[in-house]
Chain A
Amino acid sequence: MNRFHFIIIGSVLTLFSSMVGLVLLPIRGLGNFEAAPDPETGELVPPPLSALEARGRDVYVSMGCMYCHSQQVHPPSVRTDIDRMWGERRTVPRDYMQQGVAQMGTMRTGPDLSNIGVRNPSQDWHLIHLYDPQTTSPGSIMPPYRFLFRTQPIGESGPSPDALRLVDEFAPPKGYEVVPTDDALALVAYLQSLKLSTYEVPEAARARYESKRQ
């Protein structure tokens, strides 16, 4: 080949051709969701995040939780997600419309979190698990997020209502308590909001049918 124009134009065109299928079509087909009524309850789904939950989502993004945890439930024909109670149906595109930055994830070093708010609804559990995963899951390789908490002396009026109930080697020194920062509370609120199985979306009937098929 002895003309650079040929190479340059050809390179640009081949890349553009792929953009049709992998960029333009997704924008057109997956980029315009609006909240739709739940077929059973009539409420708009997926439910919007509160301000606290949205802040928690930003903490999730800032900490890079996605790099170990996925948020996509696959049908039983592909994976055991539903058997593991990671959801009752596969996720559909509409489920992600609330996420500013899609956090679907590509690694399952830790479990999928699409339904974690249903599997682990307790704020206390999440707070001590985040503080140090060894408290609830000995041997876990999840990092501790102690820096999202404050160890402070117990005040004259007694322990604060937020103080974590930590025991054994995790408990702070005598006279001290561990309280969550606002970021920790926000992050937990976000995790508690991940409740895939509590709402139906219009596409869910078909998705649920696919989930039941073996």
Chain B
Amino acid sequence: MNPEHIARSRSERLAIDRAARWPVGVFIGSSIFWLLAGSLLALVASIKLHDPEFIADNPWFTFGRARSAHLNAMAYGWLSSAGIGIGLWLLSRLCRVPIEDHRSLTLSAVFWNFGNLVGVWGIMRGDSTSIEWLEYPAYAAPFLLASFAFVTLAAFNLVRRRAPGHIYISQWYVMAGFIWLPMLYFTAHGLLVLAPVQAPAQPPINWWYAHNALGLWFTPIGLAAAYYLIPKIIGKPIHSYYLSAIGFWSLAFFYAWNGMHHLIGGPFPAFMVTASVVASVMMFIPVITVAINHHMTMKGHFRYLIHSPTLRFVVFGAMSYTLVSIQGSTMAIRVVNEITHFTHYTVGHAHLGVYGFASMVFFGAIYYIMPRLLATEWPSRWLIRLHFWPCAIGIAIYFIGLSVGGWLQGLALNRTDAPFMEIMEATIPYLKSRSIAGILMTIGHLAFGVSFIWMILRRRAATSETGPTLFSLPPQSADST
């Protein structure tokens, strides 16, 4: 290996990471703030569901508002901020050009955070639109849209200047996600909030938006991160590039039609609901391609999970993706939906997706990216363990608790001899298990927050491989082996 080529690759990569430091770092830092805020709101909402006297006399925290504030803070504050940062970094790395739009991206981050602050405040104050996944009042949306316009422009700028050569799969996913989200939000916000269509037509549009926010925004960034980080960390390329292409296009085509599976049995034309059910089942195709690809890439390297926390987070997430997607396909089938619709089972499923998959992958990505941005190390191995284990155990308890509780709830709702109050009482132990899970997950998030702040404040330059740290840059001695 030619030492000149090695040095040139290294300096190119370091320049890219250096240029990404401020815009990507700011979005990631913001996302962690919202993760913590959203976790507190989550605990409030969860406790209220089995203990209604908890903070009962303050209308700002009433369940209907706390729950929506939590959802939006997590969806737009945590996941979307992290998604923007991670997506921009992936695009910059893979296009092999440094980010140039520092000013517009700084403005974008300010707008994004401001929009979320105003939105969460607005919900708690009582101005929620009461449209699922779009609860931010109309006055918050312009900030989000303006912010995202800058992000999409910055992405186009990277793509336009990209180094010649192959476009890697992660680039397809990130670019598509950066286009899909504004299209979705703009359309839904326009047709449901600004100039609302008549109410009977709103739910299909609502769930077209909400399900696509999951599948055409969070999922692409999560998959982009997994498709880059798994092979990059272990040093082995993705098993089948051809499968990736099939996975991308089948996701794009089928996912977009899933939305009506949230409305099975409701007052809608049968063919619309059926189209969504069919599309939901067809999702097997992209999901299986991703699962095969990741599994075959990891094959022979599973013992790496013992040693690499980043890999652990990302692979946990990738496996959750397969699980939650297969579960989702089954939930669209009528005999299953008859049991699970309207129950806590759906909430468990949703969190396996946004947390077990997206959040865990994003955690892994942030652990990989931050040291490379700051040229410094995570301060403590123990804090990372304190992040991973409570969160992994927490989401497992969450998912199992609400799935069992929700399933039983659904079965009982369908029995004519089960009084409603008894059905509700039977769910309480499972709702309590969810609060316990939430406490564990919040502990993990606090450890993460402490790690992040400590790392930024400490800013010790990466030196050798010794010490308690984990993600130091490959030592200078790579040249001297």
Q: Does B bind A?
A: yes
Binding site for B on A (CB under 8 A): 1-4, 7-8, 10-12, 14-15, 17-19, 21-23, 25-27, 29-33, 61-68, 70, 72, 74-75, 78-80, 83-84, 90-104, 106-111, 133, 137, 139-147
B62 touches A143 (CB 8 A): yes
A67 touches B67 (CB 8 A): yes
When C-beta atoms are compared, the residue in chain B nearest to A137 turns out to be B421
Chain B interface, DSSP helix/strand/loop, else mixed = helix
Q: CA separation between A107 and B48, bound complex, in Å?
A: 16
Q: Is B49 an interface residue, CB under 8 A from the partner?
A: yes
Which one, A10, A22, A30, A79, contacts B413 given CB within 8 A?
A79
B256 touches A15 (CB 8 A): yes
Q: CA separation between A68 and B196, bound complex, in Å?
A: 23
In the complex, what residues of A have CB within 8 A of residue B342's CB? Answer: 70, 106-108
On whether A68 and B208 interact (CB within 8 A), knowing A11-B252, A98-B199, A141-B424, the answer reads: no
Q: Which of A25, A62, A95, A97 has the most CB of B within 10 A?
A: A62
Tell me the B174-191 residues at the A interface (CB within 8 Å): 175-176, 179-180, 183-184, 187, 191
Q: CA separation between A146 and B62, bound complex, in Å?
A: 11
B205 touches A90 (CB 8 A): no
In the complex, what residues of B have CB within 8 A of residue A12's CB? Answer: 179, 183
B167 touches A7 (CB 8 A): yes
In the complex, what residues of B have CB within 8 A of residue A137's CB? Answer: 421
B265 touches A79 (CB 8 A): yes
- B73 to chain A: closest CB distance in Å? 15
Q: CA separation between A29 and B203, bound complex, in Å?
A: 13
When C-beta atoms are compared, the residue in chain A nearest to B425 turns out to be A139
- B427 to chain A: closest CB distance in Å? 8
- B400 to chain A: closest CB distance in Å? 19
A97 touches B167 (CB 8 A): no
In the complex, what residues of A have CB within 8 A of residue B433's CB? Answer: none
On whether A104 and B203 interact (CB within 8 A), knowing A11-B179, A30-B268, the answer reads: yes
Q: CA separation between A141 and B343, bound complex, in Å?
A: 15
A100 touches B165 (CB 8 A): no
Chain B, residues 261-276, CB within 8 Å of chain A (1/0): the string is 0110111110010011
In the complex, what residues of A have CB within 8 A of residue B49's CB? Answer: 109, 141
Q: CA separation between A151 and B425, bound complex, in Å?
A: 30
Q: Name 20 A/B residue pairs within 8 A (Cβ), A-sorted.
A: A7-B172, A7-B176, A15-B180, A15-B183, A15-B212, A17-B253, A18-B208, A22-B256, A26-B272, A27-B201, A63-B65, A93-B200, A93-B268, A94-B200, A96-B199, A99-B199, A101-B130, A140-B424, A141-B428, A146-B57
Q: CA separation between A114 and B234, bound complex, in Å?
A: 56
In the complex, what residues of B have CB within 8 A of residue A66's CB? Answer: 64, 130
B52 touches A143 (CB 8 A): yes
Q: Is B63 an interface residue, CB under 8 A from the partner?
A: yes
Q: CA separation between A17 and B63, bound complex, in Å?
A: 37
A84 touches B416 (CB 8 A): yes
B413 touches A80 (CB 8 A): yes
B63 touches A102 (CB 8 A): no
Which one, B184, B262, B415, contacts A80 given CB within 8 A?
B415
